[in-house]
Amino acid sequence: MRLKARETFARLLTRLTALLLLAAAPVSATAADAQWQGAAFAGDRSALEKLAAAGAGVVRVYGESDVWVLDEAQRLGLRVVMGLSVGYPRHGIQPSDADALGTQEEAIRRFVLRHHKHPALLAWGVGNEVEAGADDPLPAWREVNRLAGMIKAIDPAHPTLMVVVDGGVERLALLAKCCANIDLLGINAYAGAAFTLPQRLRSAGITKPVVIGELGPLGQWQSGRKPWGAPVEPTSSEKAAFFRDVFPFLRSQPQIVGAFPFLWGWKQEQTETWHGLLLADGSLTAMSDALSTAWGKPVTEPAPLIRGIGIAADEFAPGQEISAGVDAAAFDGSALRTEWKVLAEATDLRGGSGVETPPARIAVPIRHADAASVRFIAPQQPGAYRLFITIHDRKGKAATANLPFLVR
């Protein structure tokens, strides 16, 4: 039995290596350099074009509404990990609800039948973190495994990927004996967890090829907090440094066959800048520069560098004058343009599981503003706020930072 399992894994790894070599950009002669190069995606056609231009070879999308990406990816020379929506159980589908499970399965079946021969298709992503919030993840994982078996019966040519929340060794160990219909195990890993993941996989006894389904710097659930609870967001330059450091490490790990930085596009999650690798207007950033370099296309005109940020205090009285500043530089020393704006602290927080409502922009009197500093009047209404700093250079690239503060 053990010999048969090793032979099965060897055949799978051989097939995956061939897919990796096909999808990697640029194509490399070594398996270590043939990891899937690309990003998790939520954007428009312009953003997808920028992803391809940055040197990506693969794009991961989350659900059927992004099926348009298949045709666009073919045009741009990209391959697609096509997400299939699995709403179980955190979206209200319970293990006992046979009717809902059957309706979901039929929708997935029809979608796979319609698109499994698309030339841009690379793999099927069967759900994303479907076990989130469950004390026992196994029922959700078994449902994903059952759906993956149905998919493989229709389309044995493309591997199945199940993406789960990162966790400790004990929780990961449950995956070692689970889900035979899953070819690739996806784990969403952020900040230092990405560096410890290979060892945790070994300790958990997981031998399947692993894709980091979402790769990112410090998330809001990991970061330090102000006394009133506001998480402190890294600057765009700090986020870029994470990507520069993590990719050489991941390429040295043979079990890691791909990593998808999160998120190529724009998303409101805790803040409007925390996870987006681009700005809402499509501007490229230091993070997109770092990824382009990691994908074999070093940039010659990088985004502005933020060397430091600061605010006069953490707490202010209503109507008090507030001063803040940023130390930033363009790649060529040219002048920068800085936008300063105050937003209320976000309250519609969904932990990545839904669409968050952006917080309101607060109209504050500006006493002085230039590229490096600002003085403004604190809001009259007590509460938690953030000062957002967006810097553009003459080439249109951007840098971002924000400073939480409290009015009381």
> Residue-wise over 277-310: b if at least 16 C-beta within 10 A, else e?
bbbeebbbbbbbbbbbbbbbeebeebbbbbeebe
Is the pLDDT at 107 greater than 80? The verdict is yes
CA-CA distance, 121 to 31, in Å (whole number)? 21
Secondary structure of the chain in HEC code, one letter for each residue: CHHHHHHHHHHHHHHHHHHHHHHCCCCCCCCHHHCEEEEEEECCHHHHHHHHHCCCCEEECCCHHHCHHHHHHHHHCCEEEEEECCCCCCCCCCCCCHHHHHHHHHHHHHHHHHHCCCCCEEEEEEEECCCCCCCCCHHHHHHHHHHHHHHHHHCCCCCEEEEEECCCHHHHHHHHCCCCCCCEEEEEEECCHHHHHHHHHHHHCCCCCEEEEEEECCCCCCCCECCCCCECCCCHHHHHHHHHHHHHHHHCCCCEEEEEECCEECCCECECCCCCCCCCCCCCEHHHHHHHHHCCCCCCCCCCEEEEEEECCCEECCCCEEEEEEEEECCCCCCCEEEEEEEECCCCCCCCCCCCCCCCEECCCEEEECCCEEEEECCCCCEEEEEEEEEECCCCCEEEEEEEEEEC
208 exposure class (CB count in 10 Å sphere: 0-12, 13-18, 19+): buried
Which pLDDT value is given to residue 352? 73
Q: Where is pLDDT greater, at 335 or 100?
A: 335
Q: Please state the pTM of the whole predicted model.
A: 0.91
Domains and CATH numbers, the chain: 2-294 (3.20.20.80), 305-407 (2.60.40.10)
pLDDT in tens, 140-194: 999 999 999 999 999 999 999 999 999 899 999 999 989 999 999 999 999 999 9
Both tokens assigned to 174: 């449950």
Task: Spell 44-57 as b/e; 16+ CB within 10 A means b.
Answer: eeebbbbbbebbbb
- Confidence band of 211 (pLDDT split at 50, 70, 90): very high
Over residues 55-70, the pLDDT tens digits come to 999 999 999 999 999 9
Q: What is the mean pLDDT of residues 202-229?
A: 97
pLDDT at 93: 78
What residues are paired with 391 via a beta bridge? 338, 399
pLDDT in tens, 347-390: 999 877 778 999 999 999 999 999 999 999 999 999 999 999 99
pLDDT band at 26 (very low <50, low <70, confident <90, very high): very low
- pLDDT score at 92: 73
Which among 360, 342, 341 is positioned nearest to 268, based on CA atoms?
Answer: 360
What are residue 398's DSSP bridge partners? 285, 392
